[in-house]
Homo-oligomer: A and B are copies of this chain.
Amino acid sequence: MSFRSQLLKGILEGCILSIINKEMVYGYELSQKLQHFGLHDVSEGSIYPILLRLQKDGLIKGEMRASSTGPKRKYYELTNLGEKALLEIQEEWKNLQKPVDRLLNRSVDDER
């Protein structure tokens, strides 16, 4: 039995939108960037389905491009809708982070 809770749930989508917002990226690259940012253990079985869903919902759009060193890559960029969604997620994250932090990191003599 493991106590490992699934803390990532729900925010991965926002992190992906945020990375795509900076620059066009393709899925494989995305998984490396997430890793670089400290989000380890995010498998491609998570990333690709999210990308497809975001595309289906119109938040990102993809475009195949040839690579000089391997197979074709599908580069994604945010749509206007996606930018709006990202702003909302950033706002929600701020509102969530504070209370959770108070709850999980407070010392014994904090507010009850």
Contact surface of A with B, Cβ cutoff 8 Å: 1, 3-11, 13-15, 18-19, 22-23, 37-39, 57, 59, 84-85, 88-90, 92-106, 112
Contact = CB atoms under 8 A, between A and B. Distances in A.
List the number of copies, as a whole number: 2
Contacts of A93: 7, 100-101, 104-105
A105 to B, nearest CB: 7
A10 B15 contact: no
Contacts of A22: 112
> Secondary structure of the A side of the interface?
helix
B99 A97 contact: no
A100 B11 contact: yes
A19 B103 contact: yes
